[in-house]
């Protein structure tokens, strides 16, 4: 199995497109970092009397709530957070390298896109090249070949995730100063305000973002195995990735809406926000995700191991 994964890894990095993708990816992050140093600061700066400033802020927000009650939800959360900071003596975060790391979480969707493209080709391309015929006549079961490909995809995504995290940390430290990784980070969980170290929070956020990545990559992999068509796999996966939330919103009044994959892919919603559909819980979402994951892989496996390889 290890030698099969090594094979897939070798093929992946022997292709020029993989390298171009990686270089583009690094350039984008670096570009974004440079843009952040020159652009307007995204967080207000607080002075040494930040407690007073926060109190002032809260007063203003309470006034605004009275004027426009429709915005109450978001402002109330902010007020609670500010009160929590004052009570627990936690100064608002400056824009440090860690904050940058945390903001770069949005690049995870870029990693998704990149890995989807590779997943889409991983089986379809073997058929297109004709090399599938040489691959499947070895004393290795088709199941092993399929899973070595899938594991390679996951390793590749992991490499990019770790790369993103480390690169963001490096750039953050270089451009903004890293600050302390134990800096407390204040967030809302289930209507309650909590705090944790910013590093733990960042890691958690990256972890949650990877869930969507994993599901979409598995989906693209399945389409690639079933239809042997990489364009279709990329198209379908990217379309679903982009329109996932709209699909959920469209069907949100249906009873079965909570079983839609995309109602569950954002696990972050249980930690820092309100769930898309009210009665969703973390346990429920994770169970739904596992079922989808197994169905995708099962379909890929069934078709890949059973189908005759005819002339292409």
Residues contributing to the site for other proteins (CB under 8 A): 3-4, 6-7, 10-11, 14-16, 129-131, 133-141, 306, 308-311
Closer to other proteins by CB, 16 or 63: give it.
16
According to DSSP, residue 91 is labeled P
How far apart, in whole angstroms, are the C-alpha atoms of residue 86 and residue 274? 24
How far apart, in whole angstroms, are the C-alpha atoms of residue 76 and residue 4? 54
- Least CB distance to other proteins at residue 297 (A): 22
Closer to other proteins by CB, 3 or 70: give it.
3
Closer to other proteins by CB, 13 or 239: give it.
13
Q: Give φ, ψ of 267 to 5 degrees.
A: -70, -15
Closer to other proteins by CB, 138 or 254: give it.
138
Closer to other proteins by CB, 133 or 254: give it.
133
- Least CB distance to other proteins at residue 129 (A): 6
- Least CB distance to other proteins at residue 158 (A): 22
Identify the CA nearest to 123 among candidates 311, 305, 292.
Answer: 305
- Least CB distance to other proteins at residue 125 (A): 9
Q: How many helices (H) and strands (E) does the chain have?
A: 13, 2
- Least CB distance to other proteins at residue 113 (A): 22
CA angle 42, 64, 99 (to 5 degrees): 20
Identify the CA nearest to 228 among candidates 151, 131, 109, 113.
Answer: 131
How far apart, in whole angstroms, are the C-alpha atoms of residue 127 and residue 123? 7
């Amino acid at each position: 199995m290890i030698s099969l994964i090594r094979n897939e890894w070798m093929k992946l990095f022997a292709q020029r497109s993989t390298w171009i993708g990686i270089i583009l990816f690094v350039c984008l992050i670096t570009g974004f970092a440079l843009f952040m140093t020159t652009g307007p600061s995204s967080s207000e700066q607080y002075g040494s009397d930040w407690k007073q400033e926060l109190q002032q802020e809260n007063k203003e927000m309470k006034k605004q709530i009275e004027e426009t009650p429709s915005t109450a939800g978001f402002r109330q959360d902010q007020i609670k957070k500010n009160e929590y900071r004052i009570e627990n003596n936690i100064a608002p975060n400056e824009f440090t390298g860690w904050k940058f790391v945390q903001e770069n979480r949005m690049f995870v969707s870029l990693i998704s896109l990149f890995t989807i493209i590779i997943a889409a080709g991983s089986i379809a391309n073997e058929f297109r090249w004709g090399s599938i015929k040489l691959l499947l006549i070895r004393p290795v079961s088709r199941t092993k070949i399929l899973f070595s490909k899938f594991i390679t995809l996951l390793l590749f995504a992991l490499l990019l995730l770790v790369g993103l995290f480390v690169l963001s940390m490096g750039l953050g430290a270089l451009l903004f100063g890293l600050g302390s990784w134990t800096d407390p980070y204040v967030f809302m969980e289930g209507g309650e305000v909590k705090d944790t170290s910013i590093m733990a929070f960042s890691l958690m956020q990256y972890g949650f973002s990877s869930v969507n990545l994993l599901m979409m990559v598995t989906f693209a992999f399945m389409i690639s195995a079933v239809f042997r068509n990489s364009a279709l796999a990329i198209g379908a996966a990217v379309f679903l990735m982009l329109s996932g939330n709209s699909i959920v919103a469209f069907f949100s009044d249906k009873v079965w809406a909570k079983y839609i994959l995309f109602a569950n892919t954002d696990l972050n919603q249980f930690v820092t926000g309100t769930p898309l559909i009210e009665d969703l819980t973390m346990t429920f979402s994770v169970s739904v995700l596992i079922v989808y994951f197994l169905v995708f892989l099962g379909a890929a496996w069934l078709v890949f191991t059973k189908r005759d390889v005819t002339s292409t």
